[in-house]
């Protein structure tokens, strides 16, 4: 159990791409967990949809395998699995054609005309617009409908606007749930609690007290067979434009007037609009692009990106940036962002480093006084650590030492740490958009990213190679060391 669960209202979840990778790895396991925890009411249905012909029973076999592969053994029991499978249905629908829609409508109508209908489009973004139109023309949309989409929402500002406009033709903004799954991670939500449910932090949450912020999202995996798809994207589009920029916005936002979707998103938007532009004039000083070469993976030697791709490429699998937020609170406080594949370990953290003390009253023999750091660990091992200086206990005079007030969630709370999708899937049903990206946020993020992409092309800034199993190219180290700072390596 993950603590107290509230059962949501009766719903039908329709997953387009129901037999796909996202459904298998994330959506079905997340819904299973929520069902086991008691959030899903009896009578709710989960309807897998794709073009392939399959029976309900075949889909249940697929779902059972997904659960067995992606749920921890301790969270599986025959009764819960059986109950979850009994909620599943399957419909073969040609998403861009005409077959299957009538049958899907008939199935949904059996649930009554005002039951919540959530359409999760776990399909290629190129067909989001077409499906949105089909839902409308086939009269599948009732007064209680939501539609869920995921990145990539465009590959630049223009395509993002086109995609948003296509969906907006058929759905209003309060029906559209744009998922950035990083916002569903426990520690990310905890950032809001730390800042706004305590008096301690907000008074020092500004350029007077904060020296700099680091956001690292490191993955140890390479691209392997995904390289072909990834090559059209790269780390800036795949991770920075959405996940890391969203994390930055949550760190930097002004206190919202209420913990309500639009109040939070209004404040995030202001941060996105205050990001200092990166263009041909400064791009080489504040950005580094990397691409992994052969080296050490977690389980032995691994190939380089070009071998994974089997061809030439200048796509970055690593990027680091020095970002500034041009507003009163943050003027002069750099936000260093980095993300990459084939890093030495999987680890994501937000590290807030406070300014040094103004002067030391201690003798040199007391030891070094480290700057206070607040480390928000996103994964794995979610938790928060506040690093402080204390006196080393016992004899030996005034010896100072750095220790962490350590709040590791798994140790502190017995509850299982839920996957981000669990929370997000239920928020869709609750119609709570706080953790979803609004159209203007997505577009503002692209507005900032587009000039970086253009500057890389215009200045011919190429990727720098880095050995797999290292923290990226030497340029990334130089990017922060030039400012007299160092990267905090996730533990």
Catalytic residues: 243
Nearer CB in complex with ligand BG6: 11/471: 471
Question: Measured from the CB of residue 341, what is the shortest distance to ligand BG6 in angstroms?
Answer: 8
Question: Measured from the CB of residue 119, what is the shortest distance to ligand BG6 in angstroms?
Answer: 21
Cα gap 169→137, rounded to integer Å: 12
- Per-residue burial over 283-299, b if 16 or more Cβ lie within 10 Å, else e, is beebbbbbbbbbbebee
Cα gap 276→287, rounded to integer Å: 13
Nearer CB in complex with ligand BG6: 229/259: 229
How many residues in total does the chain contain? Answer: 491
Cα gap 80→254, rounded to integer Å: 43
Question: Measured from the CB of residue 219, what is the shortest distance to ligand BG6 in angstroms?
Answer: 6
Nearer CB in complex with ligand BG6: 24/219: 219
Q: Measuring CA to CA, how many Å separate 237 from each of 160, 241, 300?
A: 12, 5, 29
Q: Which residues pair with 384 in a beta bridge?
A: 376, 407
Nearer CB in complex with ligand BG6: 67/240: 240
Question: Measured from the CB of residue 440, what is the shortest distance to ligand BG6 in angstroms?
Answer: 21
Alpha-helical runs (H) found in 291-408: 305-309
Distance of CA 230 to the CA centre of its chain: 17
Cα gap 310→305, rounded to integer Å: 8
Taking CB positions, which residue lies at the least distance from ligand BG6?
Answer: 238
How would you classify the pairing of strands 318-323 and 287-293?
antiparallel
Question: Strand, helix or coil at 191?
Answer: helix
Closest by CA to 341, choosing from 234, 484, 251, 464, is: 234
Angle separating helix axes 28-36 and 56-70, nearest 10 degrees: 80
Question: Measured from the CB of residue 199, what is the shortest distance to ligand BG6 in angstroms?
Answer: 32
Q: Are 40 and 31 in contact (CB under 8 A)?
A: yes
Question: Measured from the CB of residue 21, what is the shortest distance to ligand BG6 in angstroms?
Answer: 11
Cα gap 35→420, rounded to integer Å: 15
Question: Measured from the CB of residue 349, what is the shortest distance to ligand BG6 in angstroms?
Answer: 12
How would you classify the pairing of strands 210-218 and 176-179?
unpaired
Nearer CB in complex with ligand BG6: 131/218: 218
Distance of CA 411 to the CA centre of its chain: 24
State whether the Cα torsion 87-88-89-93 is positive or negative: positive
Closest by CA to 59, choosing from 17, 96, 2, 10, is: 17
Question: Measured from the CB of residue 181, what is the shortest distance to ligand BG6 in angstroms?
Answer: 6
Nearer CB in complex with ligand BG6: 24/238: 238
Cα gap 44→150, rounded to integer Å: 23
**Sequence-ordered list of residues with C-beta below 8 angstroms from that of 31, at least 6 positions apart, any chain:** 13, 40, 46, 84, 425
Nearer CB in complex with ligand BG6: 141/337: 337
Neighbours of 126 (CB within 10 A): 10
Residues that bind ligand BG6 (CB under 6 A): 181, 219, 238
Nearer CB in complex with ligand BG6: 210/424: 424
Neighbours of 380 (CB within 10 A): 12
Nearer CB in complex with ligand BG6: 141/428: 428
**Sequence-ordered list of residues with C-beta below 8 angstroms from that of 55, at least 6 positions apart, any chain:** 90
Question: Measured from the CB of residue 173, what is the shortest distance to ligand BG6 in angstroms?
Answer: 22
**Sequence-ordered list of residues with C-beta below 8 angstroms from that of 258, at least 6 positions apart, any chain:** none
Q: Which element (helix H / strand E) includes 301?
A: strand 300-302
**Sequence-ordered list of residues with C-beta below 8 angstroms from that of 268, at least 6 positions apart, any chain:** 246, 249, 250, 253, 441
């Amino acid at each position: 159990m993950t603590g107290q669960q509230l059962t949501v209202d009766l719903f039908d979840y329709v997953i387009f791409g129901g037999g796909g990778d996202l459904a298998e790895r994330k959506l079905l396991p997340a819904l299973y967990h929520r069902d086991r925890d008691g959030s899903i009411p009896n009578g709710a249905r989960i309807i897998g949809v794709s073009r392939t012909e399959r029976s309900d029973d075949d889909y249940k076999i697929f779902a059972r395998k997904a659960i067995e592969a992606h749920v921890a053994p301790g969270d599986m029991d025959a009764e819960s699995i059986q109950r979850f499978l009994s909620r599943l249905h399957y419909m073969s629908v040609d998403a861009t054609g005409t077959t299957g829609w009538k049958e899907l409508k008939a199935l949904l109508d059996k649930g009554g005309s005002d039951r919540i209908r959530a359409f999760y489009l776990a399909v290629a973004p190129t067909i989001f617009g077409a499906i949105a139109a089909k839902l409308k023309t086939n009269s599948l949309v009732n007064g209680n409908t939501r539609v869920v989409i995921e990145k990539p929402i465009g590959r630049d500002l223009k395509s993002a606007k086109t995609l948003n406009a296509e969906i907006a033709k058929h759905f209003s903004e309060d029906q559209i749930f744009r998922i950035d799954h990083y916002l569903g991670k426990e520690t990310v939500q905890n950032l809001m609690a730390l800042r706004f449910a305590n008096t301690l932090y907000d008074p020092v949450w500004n350029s007077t007290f904060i020296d700099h912020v680091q956001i690292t999202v490191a993955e140890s995996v390479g691209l392997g067979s995904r390289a072909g798809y990834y090559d059209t994207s790269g780390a800036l589009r795949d991770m920075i434009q959405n996940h890391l920029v969203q994390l930055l916005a949550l760190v930097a936002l002004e206190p919202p007037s209420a913990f309500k979707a639009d109040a939070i998103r209004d404040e995030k938007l202001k941060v996105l609009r205050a990001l200092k532009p990166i263009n041909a004039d400064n791009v080489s000083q504040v950005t580094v692009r990397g691409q992994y070469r052969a080296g050490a993976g977690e389980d032995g030697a691994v190939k380089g990106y070009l071998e994974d791709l089997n061809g030439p490429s200048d796509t970055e699998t690593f990027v680091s940036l020095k970002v500034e937020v041009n507003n009163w609170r943050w003027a002069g406080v750099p936000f260093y962002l980095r993300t990459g594949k084939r890093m030495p370990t999987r680890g994501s953290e937000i590290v807030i480093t406070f300014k040094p003390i103004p002067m030391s009253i201690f003798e040199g023999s007391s030891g070094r006084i480290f700057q206070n750091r607040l480390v928000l660990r996103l994964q794995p091992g979610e938790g928060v650590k506040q690093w402080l200086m204390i006196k080393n206990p016992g004899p030996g005079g005034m010896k100072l030492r750095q220790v962490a007030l350590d709040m590791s969630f798994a140790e502190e709370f017995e509850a299982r740490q839920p996957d981000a999708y669990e929370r997000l899937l239920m928020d869709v049903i609750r119609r709570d958009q706080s953790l979803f990206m609004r159209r203007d946020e997505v577009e503002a993020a692209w507005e900032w990213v587009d000039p970086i992409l253009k500057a890389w092309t215009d200045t011919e800034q190429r990727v720098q190679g880095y050995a797999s199993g290292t923290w990226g190219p030497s340029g990334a180290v130089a990017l922060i060391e030039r400012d007299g700072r160092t990267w905090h390596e996730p533990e």
